[in-house]
A = this chain, B = another copy of it.
Amino acid sequence: MIVHLASFTWTPEVTAADVAGLTESLTAMAAAVPELRYYQCGENVRLRPGGADYGVLALVDDQAGLDAYLDSEAHKQVYADWLSWMIDTRHAVQLESDGLSVARSEQPEN
């Protein structure tokens, strides 16, 4: 299993409505990408001070799954519509994991 972590800070003009629109689009994208074993995205709930504005956690089986997800038309469209202008800074990391499993159905849900 591959864990894909991504986090973003926003440019100053990003609004709460923009973030809600992004979340809706990312969630719809995830539901359309069968290679995603788990997908979660959302605003930082800020249980600690500081930190980035937004986070994504995705689980895929392997490199092919990761590429199918990130290179999908659906994901490219979300970038074009939202992330391309919202992002100030972006961090992304992939880790190999065998310790996580998906508690719910395999299809990512909101």
Residues of A in contact with B, size category: 35 or more
User: Which residue in B93, B99, B109 is a CB contact (below 8 Å) of A38?
Assistant: B99
List B contacts of A102 (CB < 8 A). Answer: 99-101
The CA-CA distance from A92 to B9 in the complex, in Å, is: 10
CB within 8 Å of B: which residues of A? 2-3, 5, 7, 9, 38, 40-42, 44-48, 50-55, 57, 63, 66-67, 70, 89, 91-104, 109
Give 14 pairs: A residue, B residue, CB < 8 Å, sorted on A. Answer: A3-B55, A5-B7, A5-B55, A7-B93, A38-B99, A44-B95, A45-B94, A45-B96, A47-B67, A48-B70, A52-B93, A57-B57, A89-B91, A100-B101
